[in-house]
Amino acid sequence: MTAQFDSKSGFRVEKIAAPLRQSVTESIRYAIALGHFKGGERLPERSLCDLTGVSRTLVREALRQLESEGLIEVVPNRGPIVTRVTIKQAQDIYQVRIELEGLACQLFAENASIDQRNALNDAFKNLKKSLKDADPLARLRTKNQFYDCLMDGSGNQALGDSLRMLNARIMLLRATSMRAPGRTAASLIELSELMEALAAKNGTQARVLAERHVRNAAKTAIALLASQAEIPPPTAKPQRNQKSSPKPLRAQTL
């Protein structure tokens, strides 16, 4: 069950619906995905308690779960920090996601029940509505709900389990691609065409369209990651009227 968040207080957890630990974990996961905490940044327990409104015990349990998902890592003498997703890691994740989500959409088109199709239609309506919402958390949540319905309707538990293992990093990249100008509108067009193939129970076409959608998202997210890559600062020039010590030849080589 998806955790519930209070739109007025950001990532503070409402103590309803899902088990509390699950809600805390999901809240921190969303905070990371939406850039509240950046790659390489420390995650002090006190800050997380203030963010979510829960105890340190629950925060620690959530951090252990996020560490198992590869979203954070515990560094000696620094504590938990947000894992940096490299361009190569993003490429690897998208390569797997193309295959798994393509298969999931094919299976949904061929096997989903009426109730599962209705649930997906409702999720897609919510997704379209969320595009008018200025809150990125609302947009990301509705898109995740859409994919949850797809996985459920595929009828393949092993496939769903495989995608859930990658879920945290997939969500991080999904949030990255959604920040790119124009990507949200393009994504909606792609998903609308996918919905038509799913409704027509055309498994082959649904798979092709799903794979195209993920490829386009990959191009956007990877380009954005590349543009955000850290560039080494230029060597500081000596101030005027100050003598600089001789530089070794190697340091002058470009």
* Burial (CB count <10 Å: 0-12, 13-18, 19+), residue 115: exposed
Q: From residue 218, how far is each of 18, 211, 214, 238, 245 by CA, in Å? A: 31, 10, 6, 43, 47
Tens-place pLDDT, residues 27-64: 998 888 888 888 889 999 999 999 999 999 999 999 99
Fold of 20-82: Arc Repressor Mutant, subunit A (1.10.10)
- Asked if the domains at 20-82 and 87-228 fall in one CATH topology, the answer is no
| Per-residue model confidence (pLDDT) at position 215 | 95
pLDDT at 10: 63
pTM given for the model: 0.74
Sorted by where each begins, the domain ranges of the chain are 20-82, 87-228
Encode pLDDT of 161-174 as tens digits.
888 878 778 877 77
Which CATH number applies to 87-228?
Answer: 1.20.120.530
Residue 36 is given by DSSP the state S
* pLDDT value, residue 251: 32
pLDDT value of residue 11: 67
pLDDT of residue 101: 94
